[in-house]
Amino acid sequence: MKLDGIQAGYNGMPVLFDINVQINEGEMVAVLGANGAGKSTILRVITGLLHPTAGAVKFREDPIHGLPPHEIVQREIVFVPQRRRIFGGLTVRENLELGAYTHRRDRQPSARTWRWSCTSFPNLRRGSASSAEP
């Protein structure tokens, strides 16, 4: 993933100024900053929820900054919002299953996917013992 000279904002008010970031395959990156510093705006630009006013977003050398969000999700690039923006009426497991929806041909959650999630994030199993297995 590469952000090259990204500028973006809301209603004519600039928020991001000349953002340049390169994230290589297998790397994890944290974006830190105070409230209003532009962290969510960067994620919105990457995921197509906000189009930059300048610059480019590339994934595996392909420009994605003009694509609609659903096409970016198909490339397995997602934005996981803060707690208040998840579907509150759904369980954690149901929220995760919904997130995997576009990658399932049969549109049904699988036990294998849930086991992978619990292996990757052990607190899921501990926090939802009643729904840890299908």
- Domains observed in the chain: 2-73 (3.40.50.300), 83-131 (no CATH)
Q: What is the pLDDT of residue 59?
A: 97
What is the average pLDDT across 88-108? 69
Res 19 pLDDT > 70: yes
pLDDT digits (tens, 9 = 90+) for 35-87: 999 999 999 999 999 999 999 999 999 999 999 998 998 888 888 776 666 67
Q: What is the pLDDT of residue 125?
A: 76
Token couple for 125: 């199993």
